[in-house]
Amino acid sequence: MDVGLPVVDITLERGGAGLGFNIKGGIDAPHVPGETGIFVTKVREDGAAFKDGRLKEGDRILEINKKNIEHVTHNEAVQLFVNSGNRVQMKVQHGAERILRERLARNPGMSKSGGDDDKSVYWKAGLVGLSVSLALFLVYRFYRKGSVFPR
């Protein structure tokens, strides 16, 4: 989802303590409901990100070394960082998490994806209805004829 924030380029040199930040999110583990992006959740004081000073908690990372990560799994994003070498170039939106959470608070239905998820609710309801109908039929047949199975 577009948050309307400018995109900033940040390049970090991996130091002895590494890049020094944690991420959450991904298409398999959304950090913000309805949002598949990768977000910075902690910047550690011993890492390159803290020393550089530009990367902050709540920033959304859009690219790692020119690879778009807006629709990747959490593990894919982690592996891109692990395999990025000593120099990591990122495209980042500062404060994106805060803005997304504010929008979600104003409009709680925003996190609902619509589409296929809505259809799955009807599909499940249909299965429940079918199961209940079958159970009622078997109970009726048992009490009416003394057995569920034909003789």
- pLDDT truncated to tens, each residue of the chain (151 aa)? 677 899 999 999 998 889 999 999 999 999 999 899 999 999 999 999 999 999 999 999 999 999 999 999 999 999 999 999 999 999 999 999 999 999 989 887 766 544 444 555 666 777 787 888 888 877 777 777 666 566 5
Q: Encode pLDDT of 93-123 as tens digits.
A: 999 999 999 998 988 776 654 444 455 566 6
Whether 100 and 69 map to the same domain: the answer is: yes
Q: Which of 80, 94, 68, 66 is nearest to 8 (CA)?
A: 94
Residue 94's region, left for phi above 0, alpha for psi from -120 to 50, else beta, is beta
pTM for the predicted model, two decimal places: 0.71
At residue 128, what are phi and psi to the nearest 5 degrees? -65, -45
Asked, for residue 2, whether it belongs to a domain, the answer is no
Q: How many domains does the chain have?
A: 2
Asked, for residue 77, whether it belongs to a domain, the answer is yes
Asked, for residue 23, whether it belongs to a domain, the answer is yes
* Strand ranges for the chain from DSSP E: 8-13, 21-25, 38-43, 60-64, 67-68, 87-93
- For 127, the domain range is 113-145
Whether 76 and 23 map to the same domain: the answer is: yes
User: Could you tell me how far CA 114 lies from the centroid of its own chain?
Assistant: 16
Whether 13 and 58 map to the same domain: the answer is: yes
pLDDT of residue 121: 61
Whether 27 and 76 map to the same domain: the answer is: yes
